[in-house]
Structure 1
């Protein structure tokens, strides 16, 4: 039996293209109904696939570049250690987190997790969101911003 190796999640966002070109989308659909213009629809749709694929590729490269640059900065930091390395590697999986989450995921102590978060904050890799003294949450905002484009 042949295996398709399908992606578990979408890699590109075609609906973004369709929304940006909504008038053309409806015009092409109408042309199918009124004139049977399937070729025009397929051409329009394939153009959208091409644009969405190129945008996805650019986003993947931008995310990989951001993570690589931030990883280099962390590795060059004199105070960096195993806890900050482990936390950094988890950031793409949890770009918004609390100290408690930083403690639980790599299974460390609260002071160690706090020190790791503080180092990432000092390197401007993460930033604190709440402005509170307790129950603070943090964000790998540059990563989130790239995902939101």
Structure 2
């Protein structure tokens, strides 16, 4: 038995439009947007009376998708602390390889992106940083130097 592929990573957001704008500015494309509800959906995720809207974002000409989810019912739960540090258990961040880390940051700042730490050089191989976007999403950026 083998894994065929990883289809997507799901991220719960409180403002779907802002999250779409953020990931579009990063360079992803909106593949589709639709409401998800009904008893079948609630049974999959283990929530009664679930109503949500999803937006599927894709990387142009490459594998990799994000499923952005806005829950209308039940309301999304805000974790404590609401801005979790890097050593918090669970899904931590999504990392993207980019051509130019500074140019990417400049595109994302108008969409609320803030550096978590700083842009740092790893040996002579990568520039790396973490940034926080809409709904507290942590995104990693890596620019290969060699």
Which structure has greater helix proportion? Answer: 1
- Structure with max Cα Rg: 1
**TM-score class normalised by the smaller sequence:** under 0.3
Output the TM-score relative to the length of structure 2. 0.24
Output the TM-score relative to the length of structure 1. 0.24
